[in-house]
A and B are shown apart, each in its own frame.
Chain A
Amino acid sequence: EPEVTQTPSHQVTQMGQEVILRCVPISNHLYFYWYRQILGQKVEFLVSFYNNEISEKSEIFDDQFSVERPDGSNFTLKIRSTKLEDSAMYFCASSVGMGGTEAFFGQGTRLTVV
């Protein structure tokens, strides 16, 4: 069964460093997303991406964050200068369409900023 895959599963980084989280969405999906979940809290929307551009972003997704689809299969989230409060589980998701289509989530990348 097709699935969204994320790498790495866990990343530890020093405050101020740049990190890139990687995702391979399901191959026939057209919409891609990043969500994050701070430990013990709810899952929060960061950004959605379609047709090689951001279609929607939340207040959390400030200038520190960027997304890219560098080739036909990968979808990345970059955090330019990490802060302690960026520590969270980051989920990538993809969907076939919009308008309430179910999104399929990856297993997550746990980012720890020290």
Chain B
Amino acid sequence: AQKVTQAQTEISVVEKEDVTLDCVYETRDTTYYLFWYKQPPSGELVFLIRRNSFDEQNEISGRYSWNFQKSTSSFNFTITASQVVDSAVYFCALSEAGTGNQFYFGTGTSLTVIP
């Protein structure tokens, strides 16, 4: 079974629009960690954010914000006023305390921001 599901395969938005990338996870561990990584066209994986299962506070960092809801097992990522440089593949990932530090990645959402 998929531990991390990113149902949106591809999204296109026009510059300055807001966009939300969905992530739904599945785990039986009570202690777990959620991450978002960005993969620009150059191919590297860039760490964006980490959340642990005990901290449901939403977080805002500039134009980025994350909404963690344990009740729906979701960890969604919103980009406000999108820019062309936001075009990338975004991966949500899960790490469970019971399995060390192995990351389970979702299949990624490819975001294209059209100028």
Contact = CB atoms under 8 A, between A and B. Distances in A.
Contact of B107 (A42, A45, A98, A107): A42
Nearest to A46: B102
Which residue, B32, B95, B97, has most C-beta atoms of chain A within 10 A? B95
B58 interface: no
Given A43-B91, A100-B32, A106 B44 contact: yes
Interface in A28-64: 31, 33, 35, 41-45, 48, 55-56, 58
Interface string B24-60: 0000000111010100001111110010100000000
A98 B105 contact: no
Nearest to A89: B43
Interface string B71-115: 000000000000000000001010101011111111110000000
Contacts of A42: 91, 105-108
A6 B37 CA distance: 18
Interface residues of B, number: 27
A104 interface: yes
Contacts of A101: 50, 101
B37 A108 contact: no
The 10 closest A-B pairs by CB, nearest first: A100-B33, A105-B45, A107-B44, A43-B105, A42-B107, A98-B101, A102-B50, A45-B102, A42-B105, A100-B95
Given A48-B102, A89-B43, A105-B37, 12 more contacts: A41-B107, A45-B104, A56-B102, A91-B45, A93-B45, A100-B33, A100-B95, A100-B97, A104-B47, A105-B44, A105-B45, A108-B43
Interface of A: 31, 33, 35, 41-45, 48, 55-56, 58, 89, 91, 93, 95, 98-108, 110
